Chains A and B, each alone.
Chain A
């Protein structure tokens, strides 16, 4: 078995601030994802990466940057925090190409609050 660790669990920032969320996985999975979940609703894909140094934009990528410098880690940067993006950010990983046939394993999330 493995685990996905997201840090920090809670992140509080000021409007306009640049904020970074981190994710580590020890499954040795190839593909990693960042999703945003608003108020206990569905998940929207921000970025994903099918291998080290690869980045693919999801539907919600505007206002975010991502970085995959190692296979085991995937970070997400909110470039200028806005009050309407207070949400839970979920990191996930899957074994291979991100083609949708594999199970996604999720971390427990980072809850972002913008003051």
Chain B
């Protein structure tokens, strides 16, 4: 059974700083890796995904994936107060397996 762990549980960063979030997974056969973001009282929304080892950048956001280490991360450059949210990582094994989510990292960015 897949086990997805996130660290840290919470993070407080000043506006303009770099934020780094971590996610580890237990099953080396995992294929798809996602970050979702959930603002308070709102629905989770997909932020970014990565399907092969390496790095992917979209605007201020970068994902790193290292399958051998069973680890992927999300980095936010120039953090903004609007980035304050619960960040959820998620992993899938493939066809008809659904997504397994971590417990989340709560990020607070103060001006």
Contact = CB atoms under 8 A, between A and B. Distances in A.
Contacts of A109: 43
A26 interface: no
A42 B102 CA distance: 5
Interface stretch (A16-24, A43-51, A68-76, A78-86): A43-51
Contacts of B88: 42-43
Contacts, number: 72
Nearest to B32: A100
Given A45-B98, A58-B98, A108-B42, A101 B32 contact: yes
Contacts of B103: 41-42
A98 interface: yes
Contacts of A44: 101
B98 A42 contact: no
Interface string B1-15: 100101000000000
B1 A59 contact: yes
B99 to A, nearest CB: 6
Interface size class of B (residues with CB under 8 A): 20 to 34
A98 B98 CA distance: 6
B94 A100 contact: yes
B43 A48 contact: no
**Which has the most chain A C-beta neighbours within 10 Å: B42, B45, B96?**
B96
A46 B18 CA distance: 35
A63 B44 CA distance: 25
B17 interface: no
A56 B96 contact: yes
A102 B99 CA distance: 10
B101 A42 contact: yes
A100 B92 contact: yes
A45 B100 contact: yes
A99 B97 contact: yes
26 contacts: A40-B104, A41-B103, A42-B6, A43-B88, A43-B90, A43-B101, A56-B98, A90-B43, A97-B95, A98-B98, A99-B32, A99-B94, A99-B95, A99-B97, A100-B32, A100-B91, A100-B92, A100-B98, A101-B31, A101-B49, A101-B51, A104-B99, A106-B44, A107-B43, A108-B43, A109-B43
